[in-house]
A = this chain, B = another copy of it.
Amino acid sequence: MSQRRNTPQRKTIEALLEQSTSPILPKDLHLQAQQTLPNLGIATVFRALKDLVAEGGVRVVEIPGDSPRYESIKRNHHHHFKCNKCEVVFCIEGCPGNLETMLNPGFELSNHDITLFGTCAGCS
């Protein structure tokens, strides 16, 4: 099988993901990583993200209307809020729970995704 190699590219990408306080878009991750590695290609970013998601170190965050963002799995279960004005995405702790009750009999719940929209504290 394939043993993973510890390249500067991957180290940089992983570090940026761990430092970020909100989920990042691949293109922003690419821009930020290029400050350290100017020749870094966007394909390498996507490959690293795919590997990290497969290994379970990173999770995909989908905000309706946007392309996928990525965040480190180090943060525990939470959801996201996107401000309609400044477009910033915030992580929000807490979860309504009890979602199984929404399902008809015979349906089994494995996971869920909640996105809230509105105006953030700074914009309102």
Chain A interface residues toward B at CB < 8 A: 60, 62, 64-65, 79, 81, 84, 90, 92-96, 98-99, 101-122, 124
Tell me how far the C-beta of A113 lies from the nearest C-beta in chain B, rounded to whole angstroms: 5
Contact A96 B99 (CB under 8 A): yes
Contact B110 A119 (CB under 8 A): yes
How many identical subunits does the complex contain? 2
Residues of B within 8 A of A112 (CB): 114-117
Nearest to A116 among chain B residues (CB) is: B112
Tell me how far the C-beta of A108 lies from the nearest C-beta in chain B, rounded to whole angstroms: 5
Tell me how far the C-beta of A73 lies from the nearest C-beta in chain B, rounded to whole angstroms: 16
Q: Kindly state the separation between the CA atoms of A16 and B50 in the bound complex, as whole angstroms.
A: 37
Residues of B within 8 A of A117 (CB): 109-113
Partner of A79, one of B65, B102, B116, B122: B102
Q: Kindly state the separation between the CA atoms of A81 and B102 in the bound complex, as whole angstroms.
A: 10
Contact B107 A120 (CB under 8 A): yes
Tell me how far the C-beta of A48 lies from the nearest C-beta in chain B, rounded to whole angstroms: 19
